[in-house]
């Protein structure tokens, strides 16, 4: 069970990391009505999941409720990221996924006893720590990539500006204006 959660967590984090590598600033395209409809779907899904959990009892019910709660938190984080496209919301989504996986894994560990329970809990904690580290790494790599792109653009602009200095009059003005436009310096 923990291996399934770990696999799902790694796949999800890899997919979200790919979004960071592709460009951390996705354009927010969700209008208020779409956002509100998504929020209502999440609430309705959570209520349906809780209702389904009420048909079980004991450890099975606790595990079901942990899954429902985790699913809701991840869905809310995904909705926030879809709405804003911000790197901070992307990181919050990765953290929500890690937290949800740990909560489910810890709940599953409660059904075990003795050493098996201790190992299960340690594995759940280690998996959570790894997922958080992956999320932090993805955020830092995204920032570093953005900084590197900015530095590269600045260097290219300085080179173009140097080339424009060899010109005179209107040609120099046109060259400088073109360089400013091309490298986002306006």
Are the CB atoms for 146 and 24 separated by under 8 Å? yes
Reported as a single tens digit per residue, the pLDDT across 120-164 is 999 999 999 999 999 999 889 988 998 999 999 999 999 998 999
pLDDT digits (tens, 9 = 90+) for 34-76: 999 999 999 999 999 999 999 999 999 999 999 999 999 999 9
* In the block, residue with structure tokens 């059904």: 111
- Whole-model pTM: value is 0.68
Report d(CA 23, CA 28) in Å as an integer.
13
The span from the CA of 104 to the CA of 58, in Å, is 15
Average pLDDT over residues 20-38: 68
């Amino acid at each position: 069970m923990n291996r399934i959660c770990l696999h799902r967590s790694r796949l999800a984090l890899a997919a979200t990391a790919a979004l960071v590598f592709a460009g951390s600033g996705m354009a927010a395209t969700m209008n208020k009505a779409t956002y509100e409809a998504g929020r209502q779907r999440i609430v309705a899904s959570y209520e349906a999941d809780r209702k389904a959990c009420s048909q079980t009892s004991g450890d099975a019910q606790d595990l079901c409720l942990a899954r429902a709660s985790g699913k809701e938190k991840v869905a809310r984080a995904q909705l926030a990221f879809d709405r804003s496209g911000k790197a901070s919301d992307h990181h919050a989504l990765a953290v929500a996924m890690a937290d949800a996986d740990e909560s489910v894994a810890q709940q599953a560990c409660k059904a075990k006893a003795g050493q098996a329970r201790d190992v299960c809990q340690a594995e759940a904690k280690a998996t959570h720590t790894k997922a958080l580290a992956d999320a932090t790494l993805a955020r830092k790599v995204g920032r570093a990539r953005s900084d590197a792109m900015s530095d590269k653009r600045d260097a290219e602009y300085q080179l173009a500006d140097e080339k424009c200095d060899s010109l005179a009059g209107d040609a120099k003005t046109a060259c400088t204006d073109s360089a400013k436009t091309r490298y986002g310096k306006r």
